Amino acid sequence: MSTDARVTIVVPAYNEGEEIAGFLARVAETVTLPFELLVVVDTEQDTTIPVVQRMAAQDPRIRHVVNTYGRGPAQAIRYGFDTAAAPTVVVTMADGSDDPRQIDELTVLVERGVVVAAGSRYMPGGQQIGGPRLKRTLSRLAGQSLHLFAGIGTRDATNSFKAYNADFVRTVTVQSRDGFEIGLELTAKARRARLPVAELPTIWLDRTTGVSNFQLRKWIPKYLRWYFFAFGPPVAITDIAEAARGTKGKPWKRS
């Protein structure tokens, strides 16, 4: 475990096998800040593990951890946050769709004082290449409307490629348990706490190998919960989790 890392890079992975090797190599080559990279898998049998172990033998900044919170990407990301040693955490995907060259810049934005720094596909200079059309359209509409009407500091609140202040995350907690909606949840919580959010343009490339685990129909209701939560009145950062549960601020029914 790295004790001097400025950023922990959390990568949820599910049976990526050899496909993850190129991504890990790009991260190691392009990130210049001291980092630790946690590849988070759900079981000891995941085919990603042997590849990560092979690369870790050459680069001790890289290691795998087995998520004990439950299966799925949200639980893996939660586990990564709680395992991270650095004061800044960047979440990025194992499929290589995100640009690892921007991890340094996103980390520095958090170090300068924002609690969430987003890679934005929908601001000038950003771009999304590939991916299902319906998913792209809904994501863009959500991001642009949150930026325009809720005052969120990014036009891409749904993108998973973000850097976070680790103390902020531990204070507001992560309440999502399914899917990839954590990025939207934490951005909405930052807005309700009136804490700064920033963005950098990014170019997102759809994966060319493997199969995406994104399930649009299943996860839309979960995204809508956090979308509407972002429009609520200001809440003290220490009360954000309670507000999301419905005991303070705008009411939400317990699940």
Q: Is residue 106 part of a domain?
A: yes
Q: How many domains does the chain have?
A: 1
Q: Is residue 111 part of a domain?
A: yes
- pTM for the predicted model, two decimal places: 0.90
Q: Is residue 254 part of a domain?
A: no
Q: Provide the CATH number for the domain around residue 30.
A: 3.90.550.10
Over range 91-105, report the average pLDDT: 95
pLDDT digits (tens, 9 = 90+) for 51-82: 999 999 999 999 999 999 999 999 999 999 99
Q: Where are the alpha helices (DSSP H) in the chain?
A: 19-30, 48-56, 73-83, 103-111, 133-145, 166-172, 182-192, 216-229, 240-245
Q: Is residue 253 part of a domain?
A: no
Tokens read off for 147:
């930026």
110: pLDDT strictly greater than 70:
yes
pLDDT digits (tens, 9 = 90+) for 207-251: 555 555 555 667 688 889 999 999 999 999 999 999 999 855 443
Can you give the pLDDT at residue 212?
52
